[in-house]
């Protein structure tokens, strides 16, 4: 059983409490009020549920991603409900529960929150942090973490696209990305396939994608490829740096890319199609 104390009845949101008494229909643990001296005790009976935090070390990455998708589905169903605020859900792995059918249940406090917090949407950041915490220690989880971070930067709060980021998929046989230059001395186009890494640089012999006419581009500047989750770009310690959507990326780190991304190798800009 999980218990929480509210210092006074004024902090208790009665409408939320009534909603949470039948919370299982919405993927929320039922909440019960127990009087405790002058304070309010909130009780959540967890018999029959398993705590996600206890189960995580025994789960595969695919199982974790499946639970992550379920959590996002719960959020989608709850967004827009007037009875509760998603700011009052407890966003940590020890407050997410699974039943015997692997259905997800979250813990929500029926507490009055300041009016300014009703529109702060702090919970959005907490959801991303929760998902990263879930996958980061699993085998292969680093790639999924990068994809979560990519989706956070690209389409913050788009849960449907984030669900797709939690699917480790096999690329189609002919799946490719196309890089088209924007400002090079002559038009360049590089096709990136999923089944091989593609090196970008100023050395015509070593680079698969040769960028001539720029002294700022290193001999081997960056590499692009597929990491089992998504296409990526990785800077190879270049002098001029590699930029994704005007943000310089850390060297020797795989960063997810996709159609619509803007890549810059030193001063040379490419659109990803």
**Domain ranges across the chain:** 2-165, 176-272
- CATH fourth-level superfamily of 2-165: Transferase(Phosphotransferase) domain 1 (1.10.510.10)
- Backbone φ and ψ for 138, nearest 5 degrees, come out as -80, 155
Query: Tens of pLDDT along 160-179?
Result: 888 887 875 555 555 789 99
**Cα-Cα-Cα-Cα dihedral of 240, 242, 246, 249, to 10°?**
-120
Round to whole Å and give the CA distance between 177 and 18.
51
Do the bridges between strand 189-193 and strand 176-181 make them parallel or antiparallel, or are there none, so unpaired? antiparallel
Q: Examine domains 2-165 and 176-272 and report if their fold is the same.
A: no
Residue 71 has pLDDT above 90, yes or no: yes
Q: Is the pLDDT of residue 91 over 60?
A: yes
Instruction: Tell me what the mean pLDDT of segment 22-51 comes to.
Output: 87
Q: How much is the mean pLDDT over the chain?
A: 88
Q: pLDDT band for position 247 (50/70/90)?
A: confident
Q: Which long-range contacts link 259-266 to residues 24+ away (Cβ below 8 Å)?
A: 259/177, 263/179, 263/233, 265/200, 265/211, 265/217, 265/221, 265/222, 265/238, 265/240, 266/214, 266/216, 266/217, 266/218, 266/221, 266/238, 266/239, 266/240, 266/241
Calculate mean pLDDT across residues 124-135. Answer: 94
| 84-99: average pLDDT | 93
Architecture of domain 176-272: Sandwich (2.60)
Mean pLDDT calculated for residue range 219-228: 91
82-101 CB burial, b ≥16 within 10 A, e <16:
ebbbbbbbbbeeebbbbeee
Instruction: Give the residue carrying structure tokens 């940590």.
Output: 92
Between the alpha carbon of residue 116 and those of residues 5, 87, 119, 122, the distances in Å are 23, 11, 6, 11
First to last CA, the chain: 52
Please tell me the predicted confidence (pLDDT) of residue 117: 64
Q: Which of the pair, 45 or 100, is modelled with greater confidence?
A: 45
Tokens for 143?
A: 């790639």
Which residue(s) pair with 111 in the sheet?
12
Q: Are 181 and 270 in contact (CB under 8 A)?
A: yes
Q: pTM value?
A: 0.66
8 Å CB contact between 235 and 266: no
């Amino acid at each position: 059983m999980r218990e929480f104390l509210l210092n006074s009845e004024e902090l208790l949101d009665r409408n939320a409490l009534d909603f949470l008494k039948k919370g299982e229909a919405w993927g929320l643990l039922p909440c019960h009020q127990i009087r405790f001296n002058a304070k309010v005790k909130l009780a959540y009976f967890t018999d029959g549920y398993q705590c996600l935090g206890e189960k995580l070390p025994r789960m595969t990455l695919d199982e974790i991603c499946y639970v992550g998708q379920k959590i996002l589905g719960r959020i989608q169903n709850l967004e827009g409900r007037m009875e509760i605020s998603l700011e009052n859900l407890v966003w940590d792995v020890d407050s997410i529960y699974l039943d015997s059918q692997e259905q997800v249940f979250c813990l929500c406090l029926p507490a009055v929150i300041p009016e300014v917090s009703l529109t702060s949407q702090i919970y959005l950041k907490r959801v991303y942090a929760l998902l990263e915490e879930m996958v980061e220690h699993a085998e292969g989880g680093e790639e999924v973490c990068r994809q979560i971070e990519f989706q956070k930067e690209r389409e913050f709060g788009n849960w449907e696209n984030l669900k797709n980021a939690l699917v480790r998929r096999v690329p189609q046989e002919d799946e490719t990305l196309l890089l088209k230059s924007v400002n090079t001395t002559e038009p360049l186009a590089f096709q990136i396939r999923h089944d091989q890494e593609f090196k970008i640089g100023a050395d015509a012999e070593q680079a698969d994608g040769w960028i001539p006419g720029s002294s700022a581009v290193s001999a081997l500047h960056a590499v692009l490829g597929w990491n089992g989750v998504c296409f990526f770009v990785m800077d190879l310690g270049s002098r001029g740096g590699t930029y994704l959507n005007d943000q310089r990326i850390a060297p020797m780190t795989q960063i997810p890319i996709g159609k619509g991304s803007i890549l810059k190798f030193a001063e040379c800009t490419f659109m990803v199609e």
